[in-house]
Amino acid sequence: MIDNMGLIQLRQICNPVSNMRQLMITTAVLLLALVSCSRTPEEKVWSVEKADEWYSSQEWPVGCNYVPSYAINQYEFWQEETFNPEIIDKEMGMAESIGFNTLRIYLHEGLWYADKDGFKSRINEFLDLAESHGLKLIVTFFTNGGNHDREFSLGPQPQPRPGQHNSNWIPSPGKKVIDDPSQWPRLKAYVQDILRTYKDDDRILYWCLCNEPENFKNGCDVKDFMPAVYEWAWEVRPSQPLSSPVWQRPGIHGTSTKLDLVSFICTKSDIVTFHCYSKPEEVRKMIQMLSRFDRPMICQEYLARTNGNTFFSVLPILKENNVGAINWGLVNNKCNFHYPWGHKEGDPEPEVWFHDIFRSDGTPYDPAEIEFLKEMIQDPED
DSSP string computed for 232-262: HHHHH--SS-EE-EE-S-TTGGG----HHHH
Residue 64 has pLDDT above 50, yes or no: yes
Neighbours of 313 (CB within 10 A): 15
Query: Who has greater pLDDT, 75 or 1?
Result: 75
Residue 381 has pLDDT above 70, yes or no: no
User: CB-based contacts of 22: which residues, under 8 Å, 6+ apart?
Assistant: 12
Beta bridge partners of 324: 298
Q: Name the pLDDT band for 379 (thresholds 50, 70, 90).
A: low
C-alpha 6/C-alpha 143 separation (Å) is: 60
pLDDT of residue 326: 98
List, for residues 70-117, the tens digit of each pLDDT value. 999 999 999 999 999 999 999 999 999 999 999 999 999 999 999 999
Query: Who has greater pLDDT, 4 or 233?
Result: 233
Closest CA to 230 of 244, 212, 211: 244
8 A C-beta contact, residue 366 and residue 329:
no
Three-state SS at 273: strand
Q: Name the pLDDT band for 23 (thresholds 50, 70, 90).
A: very low
8 A C-beta contact, residue 168 and residue 147:
yes
User: CB-based contacts of 346: which residues, under 8 Å, 6+ apart?
Assistant: 162, 163
Residue 370 has pLDDT above 50, yes or no: yes
pTM: 0.88
List, for residues 262-285, the tens digit of each pLDDT value. 999 999 999 999 999 999 999 999
* % residues pLDDT > 90 (the chain): 75
pLDDT of residue 256: 64
Helices (H), 39-183: 41-44, 48-56, 74-78, 85-98, 109-132, 175-178
Domain ranges of the chain: 48-378
List, for residues 207-265, the tens digit of each pLDDT value. 999 999 988 888 889 999 999 999 999 999 999 999 999 998 876 766 667 888 999 99
CA distance from start to end of the chain = 88
User: CB-based contacts of 261: which residues, under 8 Å, 6+ apart?
Assistant: 213, 214, 222, 223, 226
* 206-to-51, 61, 87, 102, 355 alpha-carbon distances in Å: 11, 11, 24, 10, 23
pLDDT of residue 164: 83
pLDDT of residue 22: 45
Mean pLDDT of 133-142: 98
Q: What are phi and psi of 381, to 5 degrees?
A: -90, -15
Fold of 48-378: TIM Barrel (3.20.20)
Residue 41 has pLDDT above 50, yes or no: no
What's the chain's average pLDDT? 88
pLDDT of residue 12: 41
